[in-house]
Amino acid sequence: MANVVTFGELMLRLAPVGYQRFFQDTQMEATFGGGEANVAVSLANFGLDSTYVTKLPDHAIGQAAVNSLRYFGVDTSKIARGGSRVGIYYLEKGASQRGSLCIYDRAHSAIAEAGAEDFDWDEIFAQADWFHFTGITPALGPNVAELCLAACKAAKAHGVTISCDLNYRGKLWTREQARTVMSQLCQYVDVCIANEEDAKDVFGIEAPNTDINGGKLDKTGYESVARQLTERFGFRKVAITLRTSYSASDNGWAGMLYDGTNCYFSRDYHLHIVDRVGGGDSFGAGLIYALLTGKSDQQAIEFAAAASALKHTIEGDYNRVTVAEVEKLAAGNGSGRVQR
């Protein structure tokens, strides 16, 4: 069974109940999530061996975060313990014409202050087949960017396939900082994952004839984006999520996979969104699973898009779906009828 290693920050998510605004009442729902952790959980649910690497405090909140992964069968044995705090993000889920709002409180978190001594990358990758990280992790600070670089070098030395979701976060670093760091890291990446904005924000590569805020998306423009990314970094594959935003509640959704020669597009989905956080992570996890299990490129992009479409119906960061459920949707059964 394939073993996938992911590396990033696991955060405490605090959110008002339902679609209420911050402190509209006195309650907040507390769960855990984070880009690479979300991928690890999805892959464990799909039946792969999934190992998550981070650093968390050795106290009750840190342990609760670890336990949230163990519940799904994620291997947490490589998590370093130490530091004083778990990063927090506050999420106000949007609805209709009111967009979602995310506020970070993650400065000085355990992983943000981690150092090279916390991780033995050669040991971590000794039995690994795939390594996944996102552009969020190196944005946490120069020391974490160096950890990502060390991880990529070690993974490559062990013959491990590397994927990266560009995941630009403007609240964490500037476009110039992202371009400098990600240009170095992407030299080690085999499979690049991006959305409709990442390639533009990080590398200045823009899809023509597209207006994501106005609900206009030209699929052919993304073939040009994928080709330019491949020419610049030599990626084996580039996957791009195609989101058409009609409102915070309703989106069009599809995916594209480029293999250096051909483009493969998934079927289109109309999403009525319950919770979109983790949608891109579930897409990445679906793609990794599909490629590791020998699916064709067309099957892989169908599986990834379907996995992500289902995630939009589930509360919380983690995608709680099975391979059978994803394959059923990917095959065209999206009626939502009661299963008896």
Please report, in tens digits, the pLDDT of each residue of the chain (340 residues total). 789 999 999 999 999 999 999 999 999 999 999 999 999 999 999 999 999 999 999 999 999 999 999 999 999 999 999 999 999 999 999 999 999 999 999 999 999 999 999 999 999 999 999 999 999 999 999 999 999 999 999 999 999 999 999 999 999 999 999 999 999 999 999 999 998 789 999 999 987 766 655 556 677 788 999 999 999 999 999 999 999 899 999 999 999 999 999 999 999 999 999 999 999 999 999 999 999 999 999 999 999 999 999 999 999 999 999 999 999 999 988 777 767 6
Residues ≥6 apart with Cβ < 8 Å to 130: 2, 3, 4, 5, 160, 161, 162, 163, 288, 292
Tell me the Cα Rg of the chain.
Answer: 19
Question: Which range of residues forms the domain containing residue 241?
Answer: 3-330
CATH of the domain at 237: 3.40.1190.20
Exposure string (b/e) for 283-318, b if CB count within 10 Å is 16 or more? bbbbbbbbbbeebebebbbbbbbbbbbbbbebebbb
Exposure string (b/e) for 91-126, b if CB count within 10 Å is 16 or more? bbbbeeeeebeeeeebeebbbbbbeeebbebeebbe
pLDDT for res 214: 57
pLDDT for res 24: 95
pLDDT for res 216: 60
pLDDT for res 60: 98
- Give the predicted TM-score (pTM) of the model: 0.95
pLDDT for res 97: 95
Q: Is there a domain that residue 337 lies in?
A: no
pLDDT for res 338: 62
pLDDT for res 209: 65
pLDDT for res 213: 56
| Closest among 116, 154, 113 to 133, alpha carbons compared | 154
Contact 311, 305 (CB under 8 A): no
| Distance linking the first and last C-alpha atoms of the chain | 32
Q: How many structural domains compose the chain?
A: 1
Q: Is there a domain that residue 178 lies in?
A: yes
| Closest among 68, 51, 59, 117 to 86, alpha carbons compared | 59
pLDDT for res 333: 84
> Is 247 in a helix, a strand, or coil?
coil
Q: How far apart are CA 229 and CA 140, in angstroms?
A: 24
Q: Is there a domain that residue 336 lies in?
A: no
pLDDT for res 96: 95
Pairing of strands 161-165, 191-194: parallel
pLDDT for res 221: 83
Q: How far apart are CA 292 and CA 47, in angstroms?
A: 12
Q: Is there a domain that residue 278 lies in?
A: yes
Q: Dump strand ranges (E) for the chain.
A: 3-7, 11-15, 29-33, 49-53, 55-56, 80-81, 88-92, 101-105, 130-134, 161-165, 191-194, 237-245, 250-258, 263-265, 269-272
Q: Is there a domain that residue 29 lies in?
A: yes
Q: Is there a domain that residue 223 lies in?
A: yes
Q: How far, in Å, are 17, 220, 244, 300 from residue 272 at the CA level?
A: 18, 25, 12, 23
DSSP structure class, residue 226: H
> Is 53 in a helix, a strand, or coil?
strand
